[in-house]
A and B are shown apart, each in its own frame.
Chain A
């Protein structure tokens, strides 16, 4: 049932993107290349970027920045979520701050980072951290709070050590929430990293996009964008695979597709 549904979704995805490509290709017959380059041109450039080491370095740099930013926000988010879960006063004071941070646009963080810091990598890391931290914190807090009181009492009755409690109950309870948080934040981070790289970076997909804009090269702009989309899709696929493995105990009808 689940497999059939997955195949159906895959088919729907293929039909949807195929239709978009077809419309684009038709448009390319009527408009100049700098507005609507043909699909084969975009694919050729995409393959060029993917198979040339010097350009792949830019893609990998961006991927590294995304993952470093997410990892930093995740670790800090876990620490903050544990504090919020433990202390009511911490929750009362920190929650409004996190909500406020969540409302600040990524572009504002770019400006702040440029004024505050010198190093490009630290600037980008800071921007990634600030834009994904609130969501990570709230999602992990929700995951911790979703722990069943019944299971908690049952486990406590066996008198586990703190480490055993974490291993047998806390970790399995929070894993689904953590995986969802990574999936959601990956999409956000991939959008923010491009904005961060547009200003001040000397490498990465955002920097390359800026160059394509200066050259008025739509083919390059689309090919570089697709590199980032491909990274996000591959990483989403990795998270989904981990999720399928970690949540294999769920009835098939309840698993993510």
Chain B
């Protein structure tokens, strides 16, 4: 009998992350005693000012950085300590498309499947399917330089989703695109993530984007700690949306400006 899926996708328990300054003049804390959980199938939007530690949280969940203290689990595993155990379970959509310029669109989508050692023919079919879902049929053999910014970001979304990850991490994935393209792509992305029932952590600067994508919104203050949290599931009326918007804005504004080191 297959083991039941872990109902909790991510746990952060008193997590802190401290970095040494490049000039070795001391250290600074990027994440301070942060605790939260993300349920399986939930989409959480994380909002905060530049430098509030959003990207550090992202790297900690992805297992690209080790916490200084505290405990993190992704699908019950330590993402840094049990690095290989989470192979294929996390898909990442970065701010830039980060496509390999020497790979065609389909080969870029195949990257994760290739790393997982999946059957080539089956992987090809999956990659084609994802490119089709993202409106890129006919562009499979195009190199990144021949694609527009929006098309490249679609390829990077297909690359993240093709491995059928349990968790999708998004680091301001649409911020480099023009507003029209970003809106269209965001809607498509959300539809695909919701259809597949994936868990997602969506980092953004934009309050409107957070309200659009998140089942839950977390506002962070520097060093990363939760200053405000709101559940946005269910029908959100115009009034409720306006109220949430103003409360998020208030939470962001209440943060004192950092002292330049």
Contacts of B98 in A (CB 8 A): 150-151, 153-154
Complex contact B115–A158 (CB within 8 A): yes
Contact residues of A: prevailing secondary structure: helix
Contacts of B96 in A (CB 8 A): 150
The one of B92, B103, B116 that contacts A249, using a Cβ cutoff of 8 Å: B103
Complex contact A159–B84 (CB within 8 A): yes
Complex contact B100–A157 (CB within 8 A): no
Complex contact A159–B83 (CB within 8 A): yes
Cα A156 to Cα B103 with chains together (Å): 17
8 Å CB contacts to B: which residues of A117-158?
150-151, 153-158
Contacts of A211 in B (CB 8 A): none
Cα A247 to Cα B103 with chains together (Å): 11
Residue of A154, A160, A251 ringed by the most chain B CB atoms within 10 A: A154
The one of A159, A172, A249, A251 that contacts B115, using a Cβ cutoff of 8 Å: A159
Complex contact A168–B64 (CB within 8 A): no
Complex contact A158–B94 (CB within 8 A): no
Complex contact A158–B87 (CB within 8 A): yes
Complex contact A153–B100 (CB within 8 A): no
Contacts of B103 in A (CB 8 A): 249
State which size class the interface on B falls in: 20 to 34
Cα A156 to Cα B145 with chains together (Å): 23
Contacts of B101 in A (CB 8 A): 249-250
Contacts of A8 in B (CB 8 A): none
Contacts of B87 in A (CB 8 A): 158-159
Residue of B86, B87, B94, B101 ringed by the most chain A CB atoms within 10 A: B101
**A169 interface hit (Cβ, 8 Å):** yes
The one of B114, B145, B163 that contacts A251, using a Cβ cutoff of 8 Å: B145
B94 to chain A, nearest CB (A): 6
Cα A249 to Cα B103 with chains together (Å): 7
A-B CB pair tally, cutoff 8 Å: 54
**B62 interface hit (Cβ, 8 Å):** yes
Known: A151-B100, A164-B115, A168-B111. A157 touches B145 (CB 8 A): no
Known: A154-B94, A168-B114. A249 touches B102 (CB 8 A): yes
> How many chain-A residues does the 8 Å CB contact rule pick out?
18
Cα A73 to Cα B88 with chains together (Å): 40
**B143 interface hit (Cβ, 8 Å):** yes
A187 to chain B, nearest CB (A): 27
**B214 interface hit (Cβ, 8 Å):** no
What per-residue 1/0 map shows which CB atoms of A178-203 lie under 8 Å from chain B? Answer: 00000000000000000000000000
Cα A233 to Cα B88 with chains together (Å): 48
23 chain-A/chain-B pairs, Cβ below 8 angstroms: A150-B94, A151-B98, A151-B100, A153-B98, A155-B115, A157-B63, A158-B87, A158-B163, A159-B63, A159-B83, A159-B86, A159-B87, A159-B88, A159-B115, A160-B115, A164-B114, A168-B114, A172-B102, A249-B143, A249-B145, A250-B101, A251-B145, A251-B146
Given contact pairs A158-B87, A247-B102, enumerate 17 new A-B contacts (beta carbons under 8 Å).
A150-B94, A150-B98, A153-B94, A153-B98, A157-B62, A158-B112, A158-B115, A159-B63, A159-B84, A159-B88, A160-B115, A168-B111, A168-B114, A169-B100, A249-B102, A249-B104, A251-B146
Q: Which residues of B contact A (CB under 8 A)?
A: 62-64, 83-84, 86-88, 90, 92, 94, 96, 98, 100-104, 111-112, 114-116, 143, 145-146, 163
